[in-house]
C-alpha cells in the first residue's frame, strides 16, 4: 500500500532548488541524460506527460512506456544504480526527443526531481562541392537546426545564393551557389556548413604540379596529424587509397612503380608516366569534419610537341614570306630601272641625232650631186 502511494503521489522537490542540466544529443545516435539520487526504490523518467522509462521492484517496468520510446531506453547497470547513478540512455535520437525531461527518484521517506533539457543537433556529416562552368556549388543534407553557410574563395567571388528546404523529418537540405567571375589556373574554394557549434568544411582546390624531371612530378594533398583521415587518388579510376588510422595503403597494381605517397607530408610523386597518364589527377582527403578535394593537372607532352611543331611551321612561313618579299622587291627595282633608261631625254636625243638627222643630211647631199 505504501509503495502504491509512492507511485501515485505528485512529485515534491526536497532538498533545495535544482537548475536544469542541458544536454545536446546527436541525431540518430545514442545519448545519456544524467541524473543522480540517493532515493532509489522508484525511478521515473518523463517528457511532459510521456512516460519514458520506469524502474521499481529492482527491475524495469515498461508496461506504461510511451510508444515513441519502446525499445530505445535503458538505465545503467544494477551496480551503477545502487551507487546513485540513475541516468537514462536513449538510443537512435530523433528530433521529436527534444524537450525538458524530468528525472524522478524516490524511496519511502523522500523523493528527488531533477530536470534535463535535451536539444538535438544533426551536424553535416558530408558536404559536396563541385565547380560547374562559372559556379561553385556546395550542398549538404540531413542537418538540423537550419545551418549557416560560410565561404572562403581565392580569387574572391560574389556573394553566394543559398537555398534551404526541409524534409518530412524536419531535417534541412542546403545548397549554396557561388558565382565566379574568372576561372583561373589555380584557385581555392572553401564551404563550411555550421549547425550550433559543429562545422563541416569542404574545399575544392586547383593547383599546379612541380616537374622534377621528364615524366616525373610531385604535388601535395592536404592531410592532418591531429585527426584520422582517409585519402584517395584517382585518375580515370582510383589508383591509391590510404587510411591513417590503420596506416593501410593500397595502390593499384599497374601504378605501384609509379606512385610514391608520404602520409606525413601528404606529398604524392608520380614517375615513369607515359603519354596516356598525363592529365588531371584528383586527390580527396577526408576527416570527420573536413573534406579536401585537390585537382592537379600534369602537362601533356603532346601539347609541347604540338607547340614546337606549330612554332617551326610559323618560322618557316615567316622565312618563306621574307624570301618572296625580297624577290618581289628586286623584280620591281629592275623594272623601274628599265623604264628610267628608255625615258631619259638625252638618250632619246642621241638616238634621234644618229638615226634621224644624220640620215637626212646624207640624202640631201646625194640629191645635190645628182642635179650637178
* Series of mean pLDDT values for 10-residue runs along the chain (372 residues): 36 53 97 96 96 96 96 96 97 97 95 96 96 94 96 91 94 96 89 94 95 90 90 96 96 95 94 92 95 91 53 78 77 60 45 43 41 33
Provide the 3-class DSSP secondary structure of residue 286: strand
Rounded Cα–Cα distance for residues 272 and 270 (Å): 7
pLDDT the model gives residue 338 = 52
Q: Which domain holds residue 290?
A: 209-299
Same domain membership, residue 116 and residue 127: no
Q: Of the candidates 121, 136, 161, which is a domain's last residue? A: 121
The Cα 205–Cα 154 span in angstroms is: 9
What's the pLDDT at 334?
A: 64
Q: How far is Cα of residue 67 from the mean position of the Cα atoms in its chain?
A: 43
Of 299, 318, 353, the residue at which a domain comes to its end is 299
Do 80 and 136 reside in the same domain of the chain? no
Both 237 and 163 in one domain: the answer is: no
Place of cell 577526408: 286
Give CA–CA dist 43/53, Å, rounded. Answer: 8
Q: Residue 93: its pLDDT value, please?
A: 98
Give the Cβ contact number of residue 339 at 10 Å.
Answer: 9
Residue 335 has a pLDDT of: 63
How many domains would you assign to the chain? 3
Residue 158: per-residue pLDDT: 86
**pTM of the complete model beyond 0.85:** no
The CATH number assigned to the domain holding 67 equals 2.60.40.10
Strand pairing class (172-179; 259-262): unpaired
From CA 241, how far away is CA 234, in angstroms rounded? 9
Nearest to 94 by CA among 163, 171, 19: 171
The dihedrals phi and psi of 275, each to the nearest 5 degrees, come to: -60, -35
> What is the three-class DSSP state of 136?
strand
**β-strands 111-121, 99-106: how paired?**
antiparallel
Q: What is the maximum alpha-carbon separation in the chain?
A: 190
User: What is the Rg, in whole angstroms, of the alpha carbon atoms belonging to the chain?
Assistant: 46
Residue in 115, 89, 132 with CA at minimum distance from that of residue 11 = 115
Domain's final residue, options 87, 121, 155: 121
- Provide the pLDDT for residue 18: 59
156 Cα distance to chain centroid: 16
Pair (116, 136) in one structural domain: no
Distance separating alpha carbons of residues 209 and 227, to the nearest angstrom = 26
Residue 317 lies in a domain: no
Asked if the structure places residue 32 within a domain, the reply is yes
Give the total residue count for the chain: 372
pLDDT, tens only, 13-71: 433 455 899 999 999 999 999 999 999 999 999 999 999 999 999 999 999 999 999 99
Distance (Å, rounded) from C-alpha 231 to C-alpha 224? 11
Q: Is residue 72 part of a domain?
A: yes
> Which residue reads 621528364 in cell numbers?
214
28, 95: one domain: yes
* pLDDT for position 309: 63
> Do residues 188 and 232 touch, judged by C-beta distance below 8 A?
no
Amino acid at each position: 500500500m505504501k509503495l502504491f502511494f509512492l507511485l501515485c503521489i505528485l512529485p515534491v522537490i526536497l532538498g533545495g532548488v535544482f537548475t536544469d542540466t542541458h544536454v545536446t544529443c546527436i541525431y540518430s545516435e545514442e545519448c545519456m541524460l544524467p541524473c543522480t539520487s540517493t532515493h532509489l526504490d522508484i525511478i521515473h523518467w518523463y517528457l511532459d506527460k510521456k512516460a519514458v522509462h520506469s524502474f521499481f521492484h529492482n527491475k524495469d517496468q515498461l508496461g506504461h512506456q510511451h510508444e515513441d520510446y519502446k525499445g530505445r531506453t535503458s538505465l545503467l547497470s544494477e551496480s551503477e544504480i545502487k551507487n546513485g547513478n540513475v541516468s537514462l540512455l536513449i538510443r537512435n535520437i530523433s528530433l521529436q526527443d527534444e524537450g525538458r525531461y524530468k528525472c524522478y527518484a524516490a524511496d519511502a521517506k523522500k523523493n528527488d526531481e531533477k530536470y534535463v533539457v535535451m536539444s538535438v543537433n544533426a551536424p553535416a556529416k558530408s558536404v559536396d562541392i563541385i565547380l560547374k562552368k562559372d559556379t561553385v556549388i556546395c550542398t549538404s543534407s540531413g542537418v538540423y537546426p537550419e545551418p549557416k553557410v560560410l565561404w572562403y574563395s581565392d580569387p574572391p567571388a560574389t556573394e553566394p545564393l543559398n537555398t534551404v528546404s526541409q524534409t518530412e523529418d524536419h531535417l534541412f537540405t542546403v545548397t549554396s551557389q557561388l558565382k565566379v567571375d574568372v576561372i583561373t589556373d589555380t584557385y581555392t574554394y572553401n564551404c563550411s556548413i555550421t549547425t550550433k557549434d559543429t562545422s563541416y568544411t569542404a574545399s575544392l582546390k586547383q593547383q599546379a604540379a612541380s616537374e622534377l624531371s621528364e615524366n616525373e612530378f610531385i604535388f601535395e594533398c592536404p592531410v592532418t596529424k591531429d585527426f584520422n583521415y582517409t585519402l584517395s587518388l584517382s585518375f580515370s579510376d582510383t589508383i591509391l587509397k590510404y587510411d591513417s588510422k590503420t596506416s593501410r595503403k593500397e595502390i593499384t597494381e599497374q601504378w605501384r612503380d609509379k606512385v610514391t605517397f608520404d602520409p606525413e607530408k601528404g606529398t604524392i610523386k608520380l614517375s615513369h608516366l607515359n603519354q596516356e597518364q598525363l592529365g588531371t589527377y584528383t586527390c580527396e582527403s577526408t576527416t570527420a569534419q573536413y573534406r579536401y578535394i585537390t585537382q592537379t593537372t600534369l602537362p601533356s607532352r603532346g601539347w609541347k610537341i604540338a607547340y614546337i611543331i606549330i612554332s617551326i611551321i610559323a618560322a618557316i612561313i615567316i622565312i618563306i614570306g621574307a624570301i618572296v618579299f625580297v624577290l618581289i622587291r628586286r623584280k620591281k627595282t629592275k623594272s623601274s630601272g628599265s623604264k628610267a633608261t628608255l625615258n631619259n631625254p638625252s638618250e632619246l636625243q642621241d638616238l634621234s641625232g644618229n638615226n634621224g638627222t644624220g640620215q637626212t643630211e646624207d640624202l640631201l647631199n646625194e640629191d645635190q650631186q645628182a642635179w650637178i
